[in-house]
A and B are shown apart, each in its own frame.
Chain A
Amino acid sequence: MSGILAILVVDDNPSMARTLADILDVKGFEVHAAYSGAEALEILRNQRVDILLTDVRMPDMNGVALYREARKTRPNLTTVLMTAYAADDIIQQGIAEGIKTVLNKPLDMDFVLSLFSAYKRLIIKEAL
């Protein structure tokens, strides 16, 4: 545990993924950005990722499906969904299956950052 949290941001809108990644980067997180579920899985295979922050609706794979796929190799991966659609059955399923939080778009970045700081404490505690 290096003390720096690694976050994988996944959104099929590249601007969304990029701006999020840039903000998290400036805030001292190690950030990876992916623009599709497949890309995200590729990164998950090769990189250390502590938190998966993913969009729900994506063309190749929705966020919950990505979570399910990721969980096969990373059972304890902290996963946060973000969505522009308040009510989505998929989201309910995801929460039932262990997804931590769902954030509504547009994201309240102050809130997101405090949330990740809290996760960081938790994750470090677990690692210890």
Chain B
Amino acid sequence: MSVRTKTLIVICLTFLALLGILYFTAQWFLLRDAVVTEEKSTTRDVTRLLAALDDRIAVMNATVSDWAPWDDTYEFISSGDTGYIDSNLSNKTFTDLGVELMLFINNSGQIVFGKMIDLDSGAEIPIPEGLYSELQVGGRLLSHKDPSDKMAGILSLPEGPMIIASQPIVTSQGEGPIRGTLIMGRRLDEVEIAKLSQITQLLISTFPYDDDVLPGDVALARNSLVGVTPIFVAPQSETVVSGYTLVNDVYGNPSLILRVDTPREAITQARMSMHYLGLALIVIGIVLGLVTMLLLERLVINRLTRLNSSVIKIGSQGTASSRLEANGNDEIFALSTSVNSMLDSLENSQAKEHESGERFRSLYENATIGIYRTTPDGHILMANPALVSLLGYESFEGLSKRNLAAEGFEPEYPRLEFQKRIEREGEIHGFESAWKRKDGSIRYVRESARLVRDEKDQPLYYEGTVEDVTEKKQAEYALQENEKKVRRLLEHQVAINQLALALGESLNLDQVYHTVCEHIRHLVDVWCFIISSYDEPAKLIRAEYAESDQVFDVSGFPPIPLGEAGQGTQSRVIRTGQPLYTPDHQEAVKDSQVRYTIEDDGSVHEELPSEKEKEDTTRSIVYLPMKIKGKTVGVMQVQSCKLDAYSEEDITLLAGMANVAAVATQNARLYQDVEYELGERKRAEQELKEYSEHLEEMVEARTRALQVTQEQLVRQEKLAVLGQLAGGVGHELRNPLGVILNAIYYLKLVQPDANEKIKQYHAMIEHETHTAEKIITDLLDFARIKSVDREPVSVPELIQRVLDRYPLPETVLAKVKFPASLPKVFADPRQMEQVLGNLVVNAYQAMTSNGMLTIQAVRRKKEIAISVKDTGVGIPPENMSKLFEPLFTTKLKGIGLGLAVSKKLAEANGGRIEVQSEPGKGSTFTLVLSVHEVER
């Protein structure tokens, strides 16, 4: 329901209710007043009528008073003189007096004269019969006590009521004795009533009191009038009200009921007023209603409708840039203004949203990691440029044609596992896999994604990020490979070492060969093991030892002459001194596999080797030179039934073992020779012992060297990865830092009078940016040792430069000690300044309160040791091993590269850093450098 209809209904209802209340209240008051007024006025009218009637009676009485006390009349009553009658009692006298009846009665009740005249016609009419019965002697009419006793009133007669006056006839002086009675009267007939009506201006009706057939209202009034109420008022009809009263006759008995009918003017007036009031109220109501509606329409509804359509328009445009038209200063204006200010803030927030959207878009577009959104069935919905280029596509359109479910990034991308995990856990972090690019090359990636579900909890899409970790993977892989290689080398060395130790205790040749064979069996698959020796002077190769599942006697095998270059496998090994490997011997010699059998009858059978035989046949052979001091003294063959049984590393290992075997063989052979020549036995033993010792020493030294190499390799690889990362990031950061420093320089330049706080902030930005730059420089230094430019450097000068560059804090005292003549060191002066500076700054920082810094340079043989000693907090033992590790720090500030860089620089300059520390007492860092060659 619209406001208009609602208002209309409310106004109508309110108005109707008001109208009703007002109308009925007014009616009640008005009508009540009118009824009272009416009653009063009617009562007054009736009173007036009664007064008029009394007046008539009084007039009649007065007339009688003129006649009765008169000497003529006094005479006449006694004499009956006709002259009196003639002169005084003509008909004209009657009409002049307005009297219809005159009765002269003497004391004996005899009517001396009686006459009745009809006043209208002037003719004589008979005296009513009923009157005679009233004229009894002693009756009230005829008995007067004294001359002044008068009587007047109404007399009810059967012929109708009459106004009667009766007085005693006395002398003109009013003296008796009373000679008779004079009665005058007239009928209270219609004429008289009309006269009364005329006098009173009232409509009068009379009714005999004891009439049996009175009209209803009169009968009712008669009953009411019986009591004490002198006047009874009752409405006759809508327009007429009647007043009733009772008139008593001369005897005091009720004789007549008088009724006065008056128009009900008060009531009618009240009714009319009510009608006019009602009409006026309706008119006022309509006018008020119309004015209200008009105002409502003009001031509210129209403007609201306009406002609404404007708001709808703005809503349909979908932008918050339009505004509502606003004028006036009322509530609707306030509403428009509020809507406008709401639109303002909406526009504002839209703009902000847009701006933040732009920012996010830029982030998305320029991110260096891939960002994507895909559907569970494998459609690529979004992929940022980094991901598109990661996968080798020109544009997103190209990439989006790829379906992950159908094609995926297989072969190595485990999409099913990915889907299973993400749908179970909702998120995946650091999922590593390999993706195939457009050109088919493989990238290793690290993927993090989350699942987005719709309202029904169904998977909607996956959103995630992808990081290319190929370089890292490759570095890791290289590192692992390297470690494996080093470990294998070490294992090999251990195996060789063990073999050497085992052989050291054996001087029997066959024992030596068997031991070698057993050791080799522990390491690789051996089907057959053969050793041949090379007799160089004779240029003959002799089989020395053969072992398969048993040891063969090879004494019967003929020696083979050393073949020409390119001939014979063993010959080739002896000539080149290099191992030779045949991974598939069967393939190499398949043409000579056929065997021929000559039967007794002379027939020849061709016989191919059986499957069993083939299985038990040599497939891989490796020939290894047995060398002593670079000379090949024999060949060791290791054979396997497996195809390509030996790896390159196996061969390297076997080659090492062959050399150990060569030495042992030679020893054993020498020993054997010595046994025949007793005189030389001791020398041989000695020689053997020396060899053994030499061998052990050699092996131990080599093991140590290898361990060191391995550690170095591992560390260098780790550092290389870190360096690669740091180097890449560091350079790129220098540009933005440069801009920040320039900007702050500019600000300081153009605002020399800036307030103190701004200056402090400038200094803060500048200082922190320098700190950032220092970190980057450390990182870069660590990542890449600048080329080392070594030259002779004076140590005292170096120390002085460092102390100049890093001035002592106020709380620290310094002591510098060095001998008078100190040779120069051979190192890069700038790098050494950096290293020493680093040690000095560390020392300053270690001494939180007062302390003593001691820098001492001493010569140690071919080296100079520059020690930096502080009296600071010292280093806990558990931290000693980590001191030089990159990223290890106990300082609140700094990233822990200082000592790592220093160590690297020292080592790059052929030196090292040593450290001693006692917690609570202080630390001593010593930079050890080589003395310059010339001065050694």
Interface positions of A (Cβ within 8 A of B): 13, 15-16, 19-20, 22-23, 26-27, 84-87, 105-107, 109
Contact = CB atoms under 8 A, between A and B. Distances in A.
Given A23-B749, A84-B734, A106-B734, A16 B786 contact: no
Contacts of A105: 734-735, 737-738
A15 B740 CA distance: 9
B786 A86 contact: yes
Contacts of B738: 16, 84, 105-107
B769 A106 contact: yes
Nearest to B784: A87
A84 B731 contact: yes
B573 to A, nearest CB: 48
A16 B739 contact: yes
Contacts of A87: 784, 786-787
Nearest to B741: A106
Contacts of B746: 19, 22-23, 26
Contacts of B740: 106
Given A20-B742, A84-B734, A86-B786, 8 more contacts: A15-B743, A16-B742, A23-B745, A23-B746, A106-B773, A107-B738, A107-B741, A109-B741
A22 to B, nearest CB: 5
A84 B742 CA distance: 14
5 contacts: A16-B735, A19-B742, A26-B749, A84-B734, A86-B786
A103 to B, nearest CB: 10
B753 interface: no
Contacts of A86: 780, 786
Contacts of B745: 19, 23, 109
A84 B780 CA distance: 11
B743 A19 contact: yes
B213 interface: no
Given A27-B749, A84-B734, A109-B745, A19 B739 contact: yes
Interface string B703-746: 00000000000000000000000000001101101111111011
A23 B750 CA distance: 9
A11 to B, nearest CB: 9
The residue among A15, A16, A23, A105 with the most chain B CB atoms within 10 A of its own CB is: A105
A27 B731 CA distance: 29
Interface in B437-457: none
Contacts of A109: 741-742, 745
B739 A13 contact: yes
B727 to A, nearest CB: 9
A106 B745 CA distance: 12
B739 A15 contact: yes
The residue among B734, B737, B740, B769 with the most chain A CB atoms within 10 A of its own CB is: B734
A109 B742 CA distance: 7
A79 B44 CA distance: 137
A66 B774 CA distance: 31
A82 to B, nearest CB: 8
Given A23-B749, A106-B769, A84 B735 contact: yes
A32 B749 CA distance: 19
A97 B194 CA distance: 158
Q: Give chain B's interface residue range (CB within 8 Å of chain A).
A: 20 to 34
A128 to B, nearest CB: 30
Contacts of B750: 26
Contacts of A15: 739, 743
Interface in B624-672: none
B732 A84 contact: yes
B734 A23 contact: no
Nearest to A20: B742
A90 to B, nearest CB: 14
B479 to A, nearest CB: 25
B900 to A, nearest CB: 19
Interface string B803-826: 000000000000000000000000
Contacts of B773: 106
A19 B769 CA distance: 16
A13 to B, nearest CB: 6
Contacts of B742: 16, 19-20, 23, 106-107, 109
Closest 6 pairs between A and B when the two form their complex, measured CB to CB: A19-B742, A84-B734, A106-B738, A105-B738, A15-B739, A109-B745
B537 to A, nearest CB: 60
B901 to A, nearest CB: 14
B786 A13 contact: no
Contacts of B769: 106
Interface string B902-921: 00000000000000000000
Interface string B773-801: 10000001000101100000000000000
A17 B780 CA distance: 25
Contacts of A23: 742, 745-746, 749
Contact of B731 (A22, A26, A85, A107): A85
The residue among A15, A87, A106 with the most chain B CB atoms within 10 A of its own CB is: A106
A99 to B, nearest CB: 19
Contacts of B784: 87
A5 to B, nearest CB: 17
Nearest to A23: B746
Contacts of B787: 87
A88 to B, nearest CB: 10
A81 to B, nearest CB: 14
Nearest to A27: B749
Contact of B735 (A13, A22, A27): A13
The residue among B739, B740, B749, B780 with the most chain A CB atoms within 10 A of its own CB is: B739
Interface string B309-337: 00000000000000000000000000000
Contacts of A84: 731-732, 734-735, 738
A87 B740 CA distance: 23
Contacts of A107: 738, 741-742
Contacts of B743: 15, 19
A73 B654 CA distance: 70
A29 B482 CA distance: 58
Contacts of B731: 84-85
A22 B747 CA distance: 10
Contacts of B735: 13, 16, 84, 105
A12 to B, nearest CB: 10
Nearest to A104: B734
A23 B745 CA distance: 7
B788 to A, nearest CB: 13
Contacts of B780: 86
A13 B780 CA distance: 22
A107 B750 CA distance: 18
A23 B784 CA distance: 33
Nearest to A85: B731
The residue among A19, A20, A85, A87 with the most chain B CB atoms within 10 A of its own CB is: A19
Contacts of B732: 84
Contacts of B741: 106-107, 109
A84 B769 CA distance: 15
B748 to A, nearest CB: 10
B595 to A, nearest CB: 69
Contacts of A26: 746, 749-750
Interface in B48-77: none
A50 B227 CA distance: 144
B655 to A, nearest CB: 42
A90 B813 CA distance: 47
A33 to B, nearest CB: 12
A90 B746 CA distance: 30
A2 B107 CA distance: 175
A84 B786 CA distance: 15
A21 B743 CA distance: 11
Nearest to B732: A84
A66 to B, nearest CB: 18
Interface in B14-46: none
A20 B787 CA distance: 31
Nearest to A105: B738
B723 to A, nearest CB: 14
A13 B734 CA distance: 12
